[in-house]
């Protein structure tokens, strides 16, 4: 009898635990968007890359951790508030903003010439051996080809342009290189990912690997994937880049953050992007 009671209690506890898990699960939903060029079906969950064995089995887009209304905004380009910033970016792409009247279009033709780039960024530049995030490539053009002052890493013009370039790879599978010349940067990013910063002593992994799906107060923790970035963040009523979000997350651990565009956060972006190898680039996404 005693034995039976214990078993029953254990079963109840397990049941409660499973209920908790069910509540914590990412949403059961699929993401498809109708465009002028046909329907794009997005991979929002898939098997984790090999190097995450023992850490994660399945990787999920942050889209699956958002509420119904937020997810719906991303299913229709007319509802997607990020499209305004994409449009603004396309205007800037075509504008003759350089010191001698240069424009992005003057060298690169239409933005579609950038197809595929977002899916493999960050990457190591073959010529310089430097780790490049998209912002670095954009600023190279802005300063060297256009003769302008460089754009702020998290400035509006920068995020508009990130949106334009990201949209050219919409639906493509993230495939960031982690070996060869990228390996030392990737290792550095991994170390940062697992370091517990600040007075709260929290690492990226504490929330986004160990407790994704669960709630910190009203926040539903995602896996911290960046395949959707840049994203329209409802909380900020504007576009947010991965670099900007890293600053916010580390600040929230009561730590001295690294700067957006710093070597540390560039390495972290490479590592975090690689954790999403296999998910779709979402172009410009919507989160809260």
Partner 1 sequence: MTRHLVQATLLALAAATPAFSDTAPKDVVFEEGAVAQSLTGKPGNPEEGVKVMTTNALGNCVACHVVGALPDVQFPGNIAPPLDGVADRYSEAQLRGIVANAKMTFDGSFMPAFYKTDGFIRPGDGYTGKAAGGELPPILNATQIEDVVAYLVTLKE
Find how far residue 182's CA is from the centre of its chain.
Answer: 19
Matching residue, tokens 């912002």: 135
In the set 29, 214, 262, 278, which binds partner 1 (CB under 8 A)?
214
55 versus 130: smaller Cβ distance to partner 1: 55
Locus of tokens 């010191």: 99
**DSSP code per residue over 185-212:** HHHHHHHHHT--BTTTTB-HHHHHTTST
Least distance from C-beta 21 to partner 1, angstroms? Answer: 10
**26/89 with CB nearer partner 1:** 26
**Does residue 125 sit in helix, strand or coil?**
coil
The only residue of 4, 38, 109, 218 in contact with partner 1, by rule CB under 8 A: 218
Query: 50 or 256, CB closer to partner 1?
Result: 256
Whether residue 141 is annotated as binding a ligand: the answer is: yes
The answer to whether 249 is annotated as binding is yes
Give CA–CA dist 161/236, Å, rounded: 19
CB 250 → partner 1: shortest distance, Å? Answer: 7
Judge whether 249 counts as a catalytic residue: yes
The answer to whether 97 and 103 are in contact (CB under 8 A) is: yes
The whole-angstrom separation of Cα 282 and Cα 205 is 23
* CB closer to partner 1, 6 vs 23: 23
What number of chain residues touch partner 1 (CB under 8 A)? 29
Nearer to partner 1, 90 or 260 (CB): 260
Q: Taking the complex as a whole, how short is the minimal distance between the CB of residue 218 and partner 1, in angstroms?
A: 4
Is the bond into 84 cis (omega within 30 degrees of 0)? no
Q: Is 210 in the site for partner 1 (CB under 8 A)?
A: yes
Contact pattern for partner 1 over residues 127 through 156, marking x by CB under 8 A = ------------------------------
CA distance 140 to 158: 12
Count other Cβ atoms within 10 Å, centred on residue 275: 29
**121, 204, 221, 226: residue in contact with partner 1 (rule CB under 8 A):** 221
Between CA 13 and CA 53 the distance in angstroms is 28
Distances (CA, A) of 32 to 35, 133, 230: 10, 28, 18
Residues numbered 10 to 29 that lie near partner 1 (CB under 8 A) are: 20, 23-24
Contact between residue 281 and residue 166 where contact means Cβ atoms under 8 Å apart: yes
107 annotated as belonging to a binding site for a ligand: yes
Q: How far is CA 227 from the centre of its chain?
A: 4
Binding residue (CB under 8 A) for partner 1 from 206, 234, 236, 262: 206
In the list 85, 137, 197, 271, the residue contacting partner 1 (rule: CB under 8 A) is 197
**Coil, helix or strand at residue 215:** strand
- State the minimum distance, in angstroms, from the CB of residue 180 to partner 1: 30
Annotated binding residues for substrate:
245
Given the rule CB under 8 A, which residues bind partner 1? 20, 23-24, 195-202, 206, 210-211, 214-218, 221, 247, 250-257
Residue numbers annotated as active site? 249
């Amino acid at each position: 009898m005693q034995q039976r009671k214990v078993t029953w209690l254990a079963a109840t506890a397990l049941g409660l635990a499973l209920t908790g898990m069910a509540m914590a699960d990412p949403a059961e939903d699929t993401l498809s968007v109708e465009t002028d060029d046909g329907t794009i079906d997005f991979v929002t969950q898939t098997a984790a890359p090999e190097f995450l064995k023992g850490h994660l089995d399945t990787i999920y887009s942050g889209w699956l951790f958002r509420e119904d209304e937020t997810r719906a905004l991303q299913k229709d380009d007319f509802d997607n508030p990020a499209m305004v910033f994409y449009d603004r970016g396309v205007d800037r792409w075509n504008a003759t903003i350089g010191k001698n009247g240069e424009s992005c279009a003057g060298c690169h033709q239409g933005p579609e010439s950038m197809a595929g780039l977002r899916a493999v960024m960050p990457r190591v530049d073959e010529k310089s051996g430097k780790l490049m995030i998209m912002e670095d490539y954009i600023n190279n053009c802005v300063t060297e080809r256009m003769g302008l002052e460089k754009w702020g890493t998290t400035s509006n013009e920068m995020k508009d342009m990130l949106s334009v370039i990201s949209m050219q790879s919409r639906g493509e599978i993230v495939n960031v290189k982690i070996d060869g010349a990228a390996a030392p940067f990737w290792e550095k990013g991994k170390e940062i990912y697992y370091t517990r910063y600040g007075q709260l002593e929290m690492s990226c992994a504490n929330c986004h690997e160990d407790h994704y799906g669960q709630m910190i107060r009203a926040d539903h923790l995602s896996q911290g994937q960046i395949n959707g970035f840049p994203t329209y963040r409802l909380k900020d009523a504007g576009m947010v880049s991965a670099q900007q979000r890293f600053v916010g997350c580390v600040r929230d651990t009561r730590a001295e953050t690294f700067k957006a565009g710093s070597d540390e956060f560039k390495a972290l972006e490479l590592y975090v992007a690689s954790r999403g190898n296999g998910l779709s680039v979402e172009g410009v996404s919507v989160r809260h």
